[in-house]
Amino acid sequence: MHILVVLIFGIVEGITEFLPVSSTGHLMLTAKLLRISQSEFIKSFEIAIQLGAILAVVVLYWDRLMKSREIWKRLAVAFLPAALIGALFYKMIKRYLLGNNEVVLWSLFIGGLFLIIFELLHREKKDAVEELSAVSYPQALVIGLFQSVAMVPGVSRAAATIIGGLVVGLKRKTIVEFSFLLAIPTMLAATALDLFKSAQVFKPEQFVSLGTGFIVSFLVALAAIKFLLSFIKRHSFVAFGVYRVIIALVFWSILK
């Protein structure tokens, strides 16, 4: 891959991984705009560079993660649904869903409308859970079930987990941070599974592309995480829903 393409992918991944807009969907649409075919390497590249964004979470939340076993227990419960479903349907997802632009655009569009409607109707309860360690195991499991829907490209793992957390009674900042942390085991597992099955066919120069994309996505994700935490103090997620609808319509017109 040309270095400029790698940089573009890294930037797109870093910006979109933790925003409720679907990083996978944006990477696929970016590939379409750059006229890059969805080869097995590109599909793996799009998965692997997410590790850079995940490292940003580890760096920013290192102290909290190291000091609280209770948070890890809840993350483990929330991780289970995606782990089981991913292991069972990995081949089908990669073969039929990744690289399918129609699936991405419909997911972005419908997900955007759902996000707008949900935010307009949702009212946070006064007793909503504020501490990550206070999230109950049933709540964590429901959030994990919501996250598993995001295996469909374009749905957005962040959007699915955030909506799941709001549904079961978490405060907005709490579920956003829980979503950040849940990305760690989820994306580590997804990337490890993909690289285990695909790495043997990669060429040496392709590992250089993976490493470069990893570094760029890490640096950009640091800024994106801080932006989202600041954004939610004053705003709902309606703007992201509107953006999803617009970007889907724009790409439909482009891809006709």
Per-residue pLDDT of 40-74, as tens digits, reads: 777 777 777 888 899 999 999 998 888 888 999 99
Rounded Cα distance between 21 and 253, Å, is 19
- Other Cβ atoms within 10 Å of 211 Cβ, number: 14
What's the pLDDT band for 200 if we cut at 50, 70, 90?
low
> Are the CB atoms for 43 and 98 separated by under 8 Å?
yes
Residue 188 has what pLDDT? 83
**Residue with token string 């609280």:** 68
Mean pLDDT of the chain: 88
Is the dihedral angle over the CA atoms 90, 94, 95, 96 positive or is it negative? positive
Query: What tokens appear for 133 in the block?
Result: 């360690």
Decide: helix, strand or coil at residue 68.
Answer: coil
Q: Is the pLDDT of residue 241 over 80?
A: yes
What's the pLDDT band for 141 if we cut at 50, 70, 90?
very high
Structural domain spans, the chain: 3-255
Decide: helix, strand or coil at residue 141.
Answer: helix
Residue 179 has what pLDDT? 95
Please measure the distance between the N-terminal and C-terminal CA atoms of the chain and give it in whole angstroms.
Answer: 27
What's the pLDDT band for 189 if we cut at 50, 70, 90?
confident
Rounded Cα distance between 235 and 58, Å, is 25
CA dihedral of 88, 159, 113, 100, whole degrees rounded to 10: -40
Rounded Cα distance between 176 and 192, Å, is 24
Residue 176 has what pLDDT? 95
